[in-house]
Structure 1
């Protein structure tokens, strides 16, 4: 029979060092809340349920933890802060429902790899009663040490309580512990608070379990998996690690990045094979890029769907609702919002397209804008297949430009243009021969007069 696992995620801390108006687990990495990274890692490792221990911003934290998650999340509140052992025991009733394994995770440690969690549950399946994830930092100062003997974990010793010999140990406690669901409540209730802080430490579970004849082991995981976040500086460090992982995975899947360190991805960014991304590109949430598309430098994409072979930028902005079909183009210094750009259509430089539908092979000249907002409501602009919009045109929505229609440069279009029609909406040009010289003389005289009055 398949084993069942409960993840107890601790997310009740006050996070005063973040100096934030919201719980630290609501801060984001890869445009996803820290807590959601943790619950999704648990789900990927095969847990059956999440018990979420909450405090500050309880409702928001619970909502964030459940984002896109296809397993139950039960929140329990911790009103007093009495240590990690006390926090886990807040989930006593959920633990008592009966699980083979219970794993304790931390809402501010979003880099945990599901593989590390499955390695721990595999060790449990082989007979260990308590499994602790450890790591080997370059400098172990300040970390609890994992004391091993004959292949078993005998204690977790805090740095301040360790002997010189124990401080020489480089194997450190990562905080994540998996233990027997059958023994869980009894072990947790046995944790005392006879220490300098008067708190209940989850780490005491090792010595309690050994005193009962239970087997405890430690397994090694990458140091990055254990990274927690208490300050904005640490948050930035976690973001850097997450981004490096995401870029590496994208490049292994067939994406070319000219300067990977300057590209920023979101947790849900989808990039097809043979996509090319130039330097300094930012992907917000909800972006999909089809195979063979090119994202030129200094472009900003959010909530956009870019079709195969499309070309974006440089210096382009795609806002939510932008849908670019196959081999379409959005050029430099263009912005597209809530608009569909048809196959092979071109939105050239210095152009704004909002609330619009652009047909296949249409050409939108430089400086064109769709005037979609009247101060109260948004309106639709429709541009037909093969239409040509001359540079510096203003299309005042609601308006439709027909298939194959032409709009003369500099036009302000306020009425529909039929298929194959030519529309020119500008004042007639007047030319005054010889007037340029007289105008310059007049302007020079005016300038001299102003200078004399200042002197």
Structure 2
């Protein structure tokens, strides 16, 4: 049997007023990535033929976010319900004869596997006209209800506002997500009316319209967390927490040690190899990869960084975009790296800033060292050779090169290159005046006494 093409319609036209934000609701991030982009990344595994996002208020923000992703934009100028929103995508699906998967931009955690289950159920032997994704929340609250038989065939779907007391007692709820045969979708939507408590055109009404024609629909179930929606900052935090909890569990299942799992925060693309150890209160921003046997110590923040095998980072370290920590290298407490490479076995043990720098293998960066990479207009590079030793409290004013095996004396301000195996010293002359301190204290004590 040939597999029909797939189109994905994502509804993102809601006002999102409860978020109280200038940012469009579906662009608020979960795990460092906008909710809408989570969905689009998930649907990519289904290889959809068409991707349509239905927008309303804030459309410019959404259009900018999906630019270059092969997404078509449909506009719902008036907020007249979910059925009306899907109808706005009809011109974008002209000539399409496959399956339509309807998703919501503020329901970001639904997995590609669940989407595929919906499509598979659509082509089961009983050939339902639509498949609805249901769930059973701890508190059914005001969700629409689904009444179905043991095989999942839907007998009735009803919005909470229009449900009877007995119908509200049912705990199988409608997530709103649906897979529909494209050949039937818009003909059914054209028949949907708005004679209901909200005066809106409800997408789920197509199920009962089709049933009246003798063509039933089906429901499949998923967990409540997977279809959790975001309408407020509190709900955004709850979805973030659910995502993080599952990601931590996956990391530990993959062989990563999390000393205090609940305190570690991942990004959507964090990569941790087996036998990595992550201590308490570590935050991974986007673009981080950590190789086996590395240790990320407590209270470190990593973003856009690569940590090689056996390296040690932190505690209290900050790796910014472009930071590369080599094998067995050490980034210690209160060390910051940005667009900098720390070679294999090199050490920056404490109180150091390495920006726009390359540090050779085996080099030692003393406490308080700064690569002065910015003159207020442009950035410049510092190169530190292999096995070089930079003394404490040194400032390396870029562009500058410290040679292999060279030593920079503590407290130096280096503005010119230091040759291989040379000593670079750039600091004021130290003068000693015997007895001066004792005389100073005596004079000051007399002044204080007289004052």
Structure 2-normalised TM-score? 0.96
Give 1:142's aligned residue.
Answer: 142
Aligned partners of 1:347 and 1:397: how far apart in 2? 18
Partner of 1:351: helix, strand, or coil? strand
**CA–CA distance in structure 2, aligned partners of residues 232 and 19 of structure 1:** 8
For 1:7-22, list aligned pairs within 5 A.
Answer: 7-22=8-23
Conserved in 2, the CA contact under 8 Å of 1:357 and 1:381?
A: yes
Q: 3-state SS of the aligned residue for 1:25?
A: helix
Any gaps of 5 or more consecutive residues in structure 1?
Answer: none
d(CA) in 2 for partners of 1:308, 1:59: 43
Q: 1:106 aligns with which of 101, 104, 107?
A: 104
In structure 2, the partner of 1:125 is 123
Partner of 2:175: 174
Cα distance in 2 between the residues matched to 1:297 and 1:150: 51
* Helix, strand or coil at the partner of 2:351: coil
1:46 and 1:446 mapped to 2: Cα distance?
Answer: 85
| C-alpha distance in 1 between matches for 2:50 and 2:342 | 43
Do the aligned residues in 2 keep the contact of 1:135 with 1:172 (CA within 8 Å)? yes
Distance in 2, matches of 1:244 and 1:15, equals 26
| 1:264 and 2:265 are equivalent in the alignment | yes
Report the Cα distance in structure 2 between the residues aligned to 1:283 and 1:359, rounded to whole angstroms. Answer: 26
Q: Please state how far the C-alpha of 1:150 moved relative to its aligned partner.
A: 6.3
Tell me if structure 1 keeps the 8 A contact 2:270–2:287.
yes
Larger mean Cα displacement after TM superposition, 141-150 or 353-362: 141-150
Q: Does 2:252 align with 1:244?
A: no
How far apart are the structure 2 equivalents of 1:166 and 1:415?
80
More deviation, 194-203/275-284: 194-203
- Matches of 1:54 and 1:307 in 2, distance apart? 43
SS at match of 1:348: strand
Q: Is residue 89 of structure 2 the alignment partner of residue 91 of structure 1?
A: yes
Specify the alignment match of 1:79 in structure 2: 77
Which residue is 1:233 aligned to?
234
In the alignment, structure 2 segments of 5+ residues that lack a partner are: none
Q: CA deviation at 1:225?
A: 1.3
Query: CA shift at 1:3, angstroms?
Result: 2.5
* Shift, 1:266, TM fit: 0.7
Q: Aligned ranges for residues 353-372 of structure 1 at < 5 Å?
A: 353-372=354-373
Match of 2:113 among 112, 115, 120: 115
The residue that corresponds to 1:412 in the other structure is 413
TM superposition shift of 1:194: 1.5
Separation in 2 of the partners of 1:149 and 1:393? 75
Q: Who is 1:394 aligned against? A: 395
Structure 1 window deviating more from structure 2 (144-153 vs 215-224): it is 144-153
Distance 1:50 1:446 in 2: 83
Could you tell me how far apart the structure 2 residues matched to 1:259 and 1:418 are? 47
Aligned equivalents of 1:352, 1:332: Cα separation in 2: 11
Give the Cα–Cα distance (whole angstroms) in 2 for the partners of residues 447 and 16 of structure 1.
Answer: 66
Aligned residue for 1:28? Answer: 29
1:347 is aligned to 348
Cα offset, 1:46, TM superposition: 4.2
Residue 277 of structure 1: CA displacement?
A: 0.6
- Corresponding residue number in structure 1 for 2:194: 193
Give CA-to-partner distance per residue, 1:236-291, whole Å, 9 cap, x none: 00100111122122222221111111111111111112111101111111111112
Q: Answer yes or no: is the 8 Å Cα contact 1:145–1:171 preserved in 2.
A: yes
What's the TM-score, normalizing by structure 1? 0.95
Report Cα offsets for 1:32-84 as digits up to 9, x if no partner: 001111112222344332111012232331343468x5xx3111111111100
Shift of 1:447: 4.2
Q: 1:96 touches 1:185 (CA, 8 Å); kept in 2? A: no
How many positions carry a matched residue from both structures?
447
Are the aligned partners of 1:364 and 1:389 in contact in 2 as well (CA < 8 Å)?
yes
Pairing 1:322–2:323 present:
yes
Structure 1 equivalent of residue 58 of structure 2: 57
Alpha-carbon distance in structure 2 between the residues aligned to 1:48 and 1:270: 30
Alignment RMSD: 1.5
Matches within 5 A, 1:155-174: 155-174=156-175
Tell me if the contact between 2:387 and 2:405 (Cα under 8 Å) persists in the aligned partners: yes
For 1:153 and 1:162, locate their aligned partners in 2 and report how far apart those are by CA, in whole Å: 15
Please give the secondary structure, in 2, of the residue aligned with 1:82: coil
Following TM superposition, by how much is the alpha carbon of 1:380 offset from its aligned partner in structure 2, in angstroms? 1.0
* 1:337 and 2:338 aligned: yes
Does the 8 Å CA contact 1:95/1:184 hold for their aligned counterparts?
A: no
* More divergent stretch after superposition (230-239 vs 207-216): 207-216
